């Protein structure tokens, strides 16, 4: 969510503050203090410069109101702008803390009353994300009201392709995985996005997802609703990296593609595969690439 928001800041700003204009992202290392907020955007809203503070939550947190208040106050203490806080919840769940937050350090005597805003994506109309100014948030469609269906996923894919935003398909894959959990829907989702992988497997966004998924043991989950464990995730990451290596060889020296397909199945080490990809990219001759393919599995 944070990565998509950084890629498409104006789309998020327009959704949360209609009519506001994104100016810049605020560094969370604020004059010697680190604020652990998810996003801090400087925007102009109603002709006033403010800071838009956004938190993304997958699960309810009983301490959420206090956390938001704390980030809001810390930011306001070091920045000379009003701070407007919004919490965006991804998945419906009980226990969401509603505003306002009232701090009573002495019972019956409020010391602070703090207003913030909750956005529950499952209550938001999908039409909100089809507006021109919000198209950067189209990957969120499966999380919106009535969005947890194959039909809506297909609609999201069609909208992104029609608007020439295939770069956002990896995000749509992840959010669709949150909406369509397991079972037949999970298998369908895996097959649907595998059929389009050529459109985005070299996308920087896709590479971020693969890297983050591997580190958290969730790469398999990215294809099956983010539900599988570390071992399956590692196996999927290895397989996908093998495919990327073959693709790179095919692109540079097509005659070596059969050799690449033969050799990659012998390599289980993800770091070796990544090193091979980099070496193939840097190679100048077909002999160099042949040597890379024939010698790499011996170094495992």
Alpha-carbon distances of 266 from 139, 155, 188, 293, rounded to whole Å: 36, 40, 29, 10
pLDDT at 11 over 70: yes
Helix axes 286-295, 230-252, angle to 10 degrees: 160
Select the more confidently predicted residue: 16 or 270: 16
61-88 average pLDDT score: 93
Assigned CATH for 2-123 = 3.40.1350
**Digit-coded pLDDT (tens) for 195-248:** 877 776 666 666 666 666 655 554 444 445 444 445 565 677 788 888 888 888
Instruction: Report how far residue 197's alpha carbon sits from residue 191's, in angstroms, rounded to the nearest whole number.
Output: 10
In degrees, rounded to 5, the angle at the alpha carbon of residue 269 between the alpha carbons of residues 267 and 274 is: 95
The H-or-E segment that residue 55 falls in is strand 48-57
pLDDT at residue 153 tops 70: yes
> Positive or negative, the Cα torsion across 65, 68, 74, 76?
negative
- Directed axis angle between helix 230-252 and helix 204-215, to 10°? 150
> Phi first, then psi: what are they for 39, rounded to 5°?
-140, 140
| 166 or 89, greater pLDDT | 89
> Which two tokens mark 7?
């890629």
Q: Determine the pLDDT at residue 294.
A: 84
Alpha helices by DSSP H, listed for 201-229, are: 204-215, 219-223
Is the whole model's pTM more than 0.85, yes or no? no
Quote the CA–CA distance of 90 and 124 in Å, as a whole number. Answer: 11
pLDDT at 273: 83
When pLDDT is cut at 50, 70 and 90, the band that residue 292 belongs to is: confident
Is residue 84 classed as helix, strand or coil in its secondary structure?
strand
Taking residues 41-48, what's their average pLDDT?
Answer: 96
Instruction: Note the pLDDT of residue 30.
Output: 67
- DSSP β-ladder status, 33-34 and 39-45: unpaired
Binned at pLDDT 50, 70 and 90, residue 171 comes out as confident
82-111 burial string, b = 16+ CB within 10 Å, else e?
ebbbbbbbbbeeeebbebebeeeeeeeeee
**Quick one: pLDDT band at residue 88, thresholds 50, 70, 90?**
very high
Average pLDDT, the chain: 84
Can you read off the two tokens belonging to residue 230? 């570390």
Domain ranges of the chain: 2-123, 239-300
pLDDT of residue 284: 83
């Amino acid at each position: 969510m944070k990565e998509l928001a950084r890629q498409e800041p104006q789309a998020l700003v327009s959704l949360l503050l209609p009519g506001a204009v994104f100016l810049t992202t605020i560094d969370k290392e604020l004059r010697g203090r680190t604020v652990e907020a998810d996003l801090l955007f400087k925007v102009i809203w109603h002709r006033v410069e403010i800071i838009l503070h956004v938190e993304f939550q997958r699960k309810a947190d009983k301490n959420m109101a206090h956390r938001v208040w704390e980030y809001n106050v810390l930011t306001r203490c070091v920045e000379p702008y009003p701070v407007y806080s919004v919490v965006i919840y991804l998945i419906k769940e009980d226990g969401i803390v509603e505003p306002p937050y009232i701090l009573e350090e002495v019972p019956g005597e409020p010391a602070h009353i703090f207003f913030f805003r909750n956005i529950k994506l499952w209550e938001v109309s999908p039409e909100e994300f089809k507006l021109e100014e919000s198209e950067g948030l189209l990957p969120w469609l499966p999380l919106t009201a009535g969005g947890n269906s194959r039909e809506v996923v297909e609609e999201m894919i069609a909208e992104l392709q029609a608007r020439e935003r295939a770069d956002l398909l990896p995000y749509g894959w992840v959010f669709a995985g949150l909406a369509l959990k397991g079972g037949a829907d999970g298998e369908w989702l895996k097959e649907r996005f595998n059929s389009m992988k050529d459109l985005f497997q070299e996308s920087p966004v896709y590479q971020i997802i693969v890297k983050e998924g591997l580190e958290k043991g969730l790469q398999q989950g990215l294809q099956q609703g983010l539900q599988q464990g570390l071992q399956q995730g590692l196996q999927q990451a290895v397989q996908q990296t093998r495919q990327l290596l073959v693709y790179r060889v095919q692109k540079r020296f097509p005659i070596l593609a059969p050799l690449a397909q033969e050799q990659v199945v012998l390599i289980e080490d993800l770091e070796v595969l990544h090193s091979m990809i980099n070496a193939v990219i840097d190679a100048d001759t077909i002999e160099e690439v042949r040597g890379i393919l024939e010698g790499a599995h011996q170094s495992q």
